[in-house]
Amino acid sequence: MKPLPRDGEIDASIAAAPPLCDRIAALFSEKLHLEVPSPETDLMESGVLDSLTLVELLFYIEQDLGFKISLEVVDLDHFRSIERIAHFLMSRNGFHRNGDKTT
């Protein structure tokens, strides 16, 4: 598996995932009732994401976005920002470059 980019690095697949980033941001806003300033915001450092919110987020990612995430593959670094979440989901699942899931 390709490693996730480090803070400050941009990966081409992240830049190609605005629709997925928008869908994840909508989960924060509509389901978790939390506003995230930008897709690059560090969710843990800013206090947006704590352990309970992470569990809720995983639930909504599975329920609303249709991704199954095994706890064995959950790494907190994958959930530091909306961009990293999108990159993680794209790397674990088949996605077109426009962010739409393949069938």
Mean pLDDT per segment of 10 residues, for the chain of length 103 residues? Answer: 49 61 97 96 96 96 92 93 95 57 48
The answer to whether position 1 is within a domain reads no
Q: For position 71, what pLDDT does the model report?
A: 86
The answer to whether position 6 is within a domain reads no
Q: For position 92, what pLDDT does the model report?
A: 81
Q: Which domain holds residue 33?
A: 12-92
Are 100 and 65 a contacting pair, CB within 8 Å?
Answer: no
Which residue pairs from 74-78 have beta carbons closer than 8 angstroms and sit at least 24 positions apart in sequence?
76/44, 77/4, 78/4
The answer to whether position 103 is within a domain reads no
What's the farthest any 2 CA atoms get from each other in the chain? 36
The answer to whether position 98 is within a domain reads no
DSSP tag of 95: B
CATH number at residue 47: 1.10.1200.10
Q: 54 Cβ partners below 8 Å, 6+ apart?
A: 76, 79
The answer to whether position 29 is within a domain reads yes
Number of DSSP helices (H) and strands (E) in the chain, helices first: 4, 0
Report the distance separating Cα 3 and Cα 50, nearest Å. 24
The answer to whether position 58 is within a domain reads yes
The answer to whether position 97 is within a domain reads no
**Domain count along the chain:** 1
pTM equals 0.74
Q: For position 94, what pLDDT does the model report?
A: 59
The answer to whether position 99 is within a domain reads no
Q: For position 27, what pLDDT does the model report?
A: 97
Q: For position 17, what pLDDT does the model report?
A: 59
Q: For position 18, what pLDDT does the model report?
A: 73
Q: For position 95, what pLDDT does the model report?
A: 52
Are 92 and 69 a contacting pair, CB within 8 Å?
Answer: yes
